[in-house]
Amino acid sequence: MFKDSKYVISITNLKDSPNKQYLNEFVFIGRSNVGKSSFINALTNKKILAKTSSKPGKTKTLNFFLIDETFYLVDAPGYGYASTGVDQRVKFGSIIEDYLRNNQCLKAAFLLIDFKVGPTKDDLLMFEFLKFLRMKIIIVCTKTDKIGVTLRKKYQNNILNKLQLNESSVILTSSVSKLGIDKVVEIIGSCNLGE
């Protein structure tokens, strides 16, 4: 677990990034309501570090959290939800795209996929885009607590098929039961050391 975590800033323009010392960054991407903000709270063991909501579209900015004074976790706005209007949707899309394209500090992208829903069309597009950018991608399945243990293999296989990945490349997690949180902490730790 990380020792110290603090919210730093929410930005809508990359020039306002707080990362002037070129610390490593790790971003959490996924559709609205997939559980990105909840996941950051679970990782940092804080209930309200990142604001969550049952209504999709809560996170509308790139939110920076400084961890142990050594790297940033970045909470991204969700994609694929139209309730905020088409223009907003395009705008959110472009700040994420800018952020992903022009960022030497970004060491890995965690792509969150709702375990029960499986990869949506938007998830598949984002996955392709991250591959195109040659980003280190970690697939995190969220809300696995909603599926009984015996059915999990079936849901996992569906996701693996759609992404054309093998078993070892997805992590099953839950911000409620805390399943998989330790694995993600470990991955961030080793990426941060440059492994």
Ligand X SMILES: Nc1nc2c(ncn2[C@@H]2O[C@H](COP(=O)(O)OP(=O)(O)OP(=O)(O)O)[C@@H](O)[C@H]2O)c(=O)[nH]1
Which of 12, 13, 53, 161 contacts ligand X by CB under 6 A? 53
Please say which residue, 17 or 37, places its beta carbon nearer to ligand X: 37
**# of chain residues touching ligand X (CB under 6 A):** 24
17 lies in the site for ligand X, by CB under 6 A: no
Min dist CB 53 to Mg ion, Å, is 7
In SS3 terms, the chain reads as CCCCEEEEEEECCHHHCCCCCCCEEEEEEEECCCCHHHHHHHHHCCCCCCCCCCCCCCCCCEEEEEECCCEEEEECCCECCHHHCHHHHHHHHHHHHHHHHCCCCEEEEEEEEECCCCCCHHHHHHHHHHHHCCCCEEEEEECHHHCCHHHHHHHHHHHHHHHCCCHHHEEECCCCCCCCHHHHHHHHHHHHCCC
Min dist CB 41 to Mg ion, Å, is 10
Min dist CB 164 to Mg ion, Å, is 28
Please say which residue, 25 or 114, places its beta carbon nearer to ligand X: 114
> Which residues contact Mg ion (rule: CB under 5 A)?
36-37, 58-59
> Which residues contact ligand X (rule: CB under 6 A)?
30, 32-38, 52-54, 56-59, 77-78, 142-143, 145-146, 174-176
